[in-house]
């Protein structure tokens, strides 16, 4: 699978030490690294399709101080899709209103027919990219419906409904940023943790650096802005339990073995 790290805060925070520890996990996740820095609606993405600890660029980058109020980071262990820039997280896309969305995913899609059509025009080959393309299509559909008031609350509910739709039988640990709000969801026990302190909220697949991390609530969409919760969704029942045999069969199908 993969590992995720994210931060949302009401002030800029020095996260260089945290990123160094996060990317040090790349021995077990060698198929790409990336991060996106959020400065309001401006998004800067840096990524490479190789092991983080082998990247001369990343090593140099992490020698500088990185301060931000919003960031996603990802290290990839490929299940579907080879090593390429187009398969490396984070993924970004823009809806018809001009809002830019960013997504990182830790998981695997085993069964989601609504995503299948995106294979024909996605840039890479990952199921993660298809999730974002589906989100954008659904957002655009709501924007186009003149009878629908597509305000913040409606957007929260739309993303929550999409995640609930995709959760059955799939591992869906996600961080999504819409240029204003951060959405978080996990449905596999023990696979995403949260730390909240003084207007700073962080998420990580594994707790980083120190204590005071707790597990993200199971099967529930949470929405944050500037470090604080602004929406807490209704839990669903679709917990994911890893089945190595099923992963093997999916890989064989993808590889046409």
Domain ranges of the chain: 2-255
The whole-model pTM stands at 0.94
Phi, psi (deg, nearest 5) at residue 253: -65, -45
According to DSSP, residue 216 is labeled P
Q: Alpha-carbon distance 177 to 180, whole Å?
A: 7
Q: Count CB atoms within 10 A of the CB of residue 177.
A: 24
> Tell me: domain 2-255, CATH 3.30.390.30, correct?
no
* Full pLDDT tens readout for the chain, 257 residues: 799 999 999 999 999 999 999 999 999 898 999 999 998 778 999 999 999 999 999 999 999 999 999 999 999 987 776 889 999 999 999 999 999 999 999 998 988 999 999 999 999 999 999 999 999 999 999 999 866 778 999 999 999 999 999 999 999 999 999 999 999 999 999 999 999 999 999 999 999 987 899 999 999 999 999 999 999 999 999 999 876 666 555 554 554 43
Buried b (16+ CB within 10 A) or exposed e, 96-122: eeebbbbbbbbbbbbebeebeebeeeb
Residue 51 near residue 2 (C-beta atoms within 8 A): no
């Amino acid at each position: 699978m993969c590992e995720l790290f994210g931060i949302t805060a009401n002030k800029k925070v020095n996260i260089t030490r945290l990123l160094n520890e996060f990317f040090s996990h790349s021995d077990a996740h060698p198929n790409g690294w990336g991060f996106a820095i959020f400065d309001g609606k401006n998004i800067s993405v840096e990524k490479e399709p190789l092991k983080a600890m082998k990247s001369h660029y990343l090593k140099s980058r992490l020698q500088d101080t990185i301060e931000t109020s919003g960031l996603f980071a990802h290290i990839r262990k490929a299940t579907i899709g080879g090593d390429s820039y187009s398969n490396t997280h984070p993924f970004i896309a823009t809806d018809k209103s001009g809002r830019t969305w960013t997504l990182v995913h830790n998981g695997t899609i085993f069964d989601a027919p609504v995503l299948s059509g995106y294979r024909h025009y996605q840039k890479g080959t990952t199921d993660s990219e298809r999730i974002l393309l589906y989100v954008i299509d659904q957002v655009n559909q709501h924007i186009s419906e003149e009878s629908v008031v597509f305000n913040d609350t409606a957007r929260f509910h739309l993303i929550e409904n999409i995640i609930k739709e995709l959760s059955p039988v799939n591992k869906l640990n996600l961080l999504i940023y819409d240029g204003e709000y951060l959405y978080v969801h996990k449905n596999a026990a023990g696979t995403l943790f949260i730390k909240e302190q003084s207007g700073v909220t962080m998420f990580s697949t594994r707790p980083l650096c120190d204590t005071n991390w707790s597990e993200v609530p199971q099967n529930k969409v949470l929405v944050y802005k500037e470090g604080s919760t602004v929406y807490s969704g209704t839990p669903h029942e679709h917990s994911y339990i890893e089945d190595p045999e099923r992963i093997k069969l999916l890989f064989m199908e993808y590889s046409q073995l």
